[in-house]
Amino acid sequence: MCGIIGYSGSKSAAPILVQGLKKLEYRGYDSAGLALSAKGEIKVFKEQGKVARLEELIKNEAGDLTSYSAGIAHTRWATHGAPMRKNAHPHFSPKNGIALVHNGIIENYESIKSNLIAQGYTFLSDTDTEVLAHLVDFYYKEDLQTAVSLAIKDVIGTYGICAMSEQEPGVIISARKGSPIVIGLADNETIIASDASAIINYTRQVIYLDDGDVAKINGAQVDIFTTEASPVSRATSEINWSADATEKGGYEHYMLKEIFEQPTAIRNAIRGRLDLERGNAILSGLNISSRDLVTINRLVIVGCGTSMNAGLVGEYAMEDFAGVLAEVEQAAEFRYRNPIIRSKDLVVAISQSGETADTLAAVREAADKGALVSSLVNVVGSTIARETERGIYLHAGPEISVASTKAFTCQVAALLMIALKFARSRRMSSDQGIKFCQDILAIPELVEKVLEQNDAIAKVAESYTDYPSMFFIGRGYMYPVALEGALKLKEISYIHAEAYHAAELKHGPLALLTETMPVVALMNKGPGKEKTLGNVSECRARSAPILGIITEGDEEAKKVCDHYIEIPDSPLHSATVTATVALQLLAYHVARIKGCSIDQPRNLAKSVTVE
């Protein structure tokens, strides 16, 4: 979840590291720090808060740093120890001058810490990472690579690390287990990071480390080893998006930019994957033949948060159109409850980053149980993509805002294509398949029509900024949309928001309804609409304000709403996307009016790489 960047080359490292931290700040922004190496000396700078405060500290106190041509830096999302300067990375062990940054959790840090204290080491922070810095120092015998390899053998947990020693100027050792590390290859220099967004300004050529890899970097020289010091080779990949994709492009916030990018992102996700003549999906990345497809008896979808909500849409579509049993599992629970998995099951792991720790653990558990495992990820070269070796890349482009938007809608589009593929291998006719293809192809234009209502939705949002809590309700396909809408609102506006299946209101939640508890009701045309209208009437009878998400021109629905947002008429499986976009805009504008930190909401980070 934290952001890591390292540099070794011929340039001054400090400006490159600071700019990299700014690119990575969406991964953590409790505190930040950097360590610079030159001529047998390491200088460490740390500051609580965002990267801008660290940058100001360096400007005011650092002096001339141009001779420091290697360094490591970190922006933190706190796990062990509160956000404060003493807990910021890098951590430094003075005996051998070891500086280290770390993303992950060291689960056995307390026992290691006790042993190191007995060896005379002094701890200045409350973090688990300082243990790792001292442990590397303990093992250091004039070779940093060996010291790091010995240290990581002792730890239980996850890590993506970069380490330096005062005795080896210019050398950076990086290792990973469960937390991503990508190495950018450039002329006369190397950039190491936890995310390619910090590298793209310098090179598109990258190497993704595998779990258990230990990389030694010195200038442009990159060598990769196992922890036993055996050399290994890793393929070079190319980043397939431009540096401009990580800029705001004139928008006030990344979130708003990414909401407006959704028509293009969805077109990219479905481009070349629909065969209108045959009414089928072309999903070669799944690497499953039509003959093998018919042998699959069950689809199990695993994910967390927004990805799990998208998975619920996929569950409904699979059962509706393909007649295939589908289940959505919370990835964090999947391996711990010993799930029933069979050889004729297809497990689909959904993760925007492709690095979500719980989802990666679910992938490994499903593989161990003999299931066919696939993935939907947005990041090429990510760990989940590499471990599943089959799946669908979303091609949504980088998503910088912590609150996921375009990843969700692209995930839904991909899941609809999977449902189509399965349905055509069963009883869906070619004519029905053609109609389904047309539904999916129409989604980007439908989203554009919702985005045209941005100003109107902003006006509606003005009426909902002062409420402490809100309910979201829906039925069928609209229930996952309610879940996602409530998640977006609570993430960025800090309004307590809960989503319920509309029928569940009578089973307890109705007791909370008063004139201070608005209800956002998804009442789109289709099966279940009349029942939802009845539920809304029950809410109105208890004085709850009603904000309706309704089908364009639905006069019946308008009558029961205090405010409403209209979305284009479309089948419910398509309306899941357009209704979600409307709720994304609603959440955005509520948070904007309240003055919240939209792209970097408190306590949250983009990529959850710890369990």
Task: Determine the Cα–Cα distance for residues 52 and 248; give it in Å rounded to an integer.
Answer: 17
Residue 301, classed as helix, strand or coil, is strand
Task: Determine the Cα–Cα distance for residues 10 and 305; give it in Å rounded to an integer.
Answer: 43
Nearest 5°: the CA angle 25, 26, 28 is 65
């979600």: which residue's tokens?
580
CA nearest neighbour of 178 among 357, 418, 377, 413: 357
Task: Determine the Cα–Cα distance for residues 389 and 367; give it in Å rounded to an integer.
Answer: 12
Residue 549, classed as helix, strand or coil, is strand
CA-atom Rg of the chain in angstroms: 25
DSSP assigned state of 322 = I
Residue 554, classed as helix, strand or coil, is coil
Q: CB–CB of 391/382 below 8 Å?
A: no
Question: Is 561 among the catalytic positions?
Answer: no
Could you say which of 23, 50, 488, 606 is catalytic?
606
Residue 610 structure tokens: 């710890």
Q: Report the 10 Å Cβ neighbour count for 337.
A: 9
CA nearest neighbour of 47 among 62, 66, 60, 34: 34
Strand partners, 498: 471
Q: Which amino acid is at 374?
A: S
Residue 526 structure tokens: 């289709």
Dihedral Cα 406, 411, 414, 415, nearest 10 deg: -150
Question: Is 606 among the catalytic positions?
Answer: yes
Q: CB–CB of 272/282 below 8 Å?
A: yes
End-to-end Cα, the chain, rounded Å = 11
Could you say which of 2, 304, 410, 596 is catalytic?
2
Distances (CA, A) of 306 to 336, 410, 418, 484, 578: 21, 12, 18, 6, 16
Residues acting as catalytic residues:
2, 606
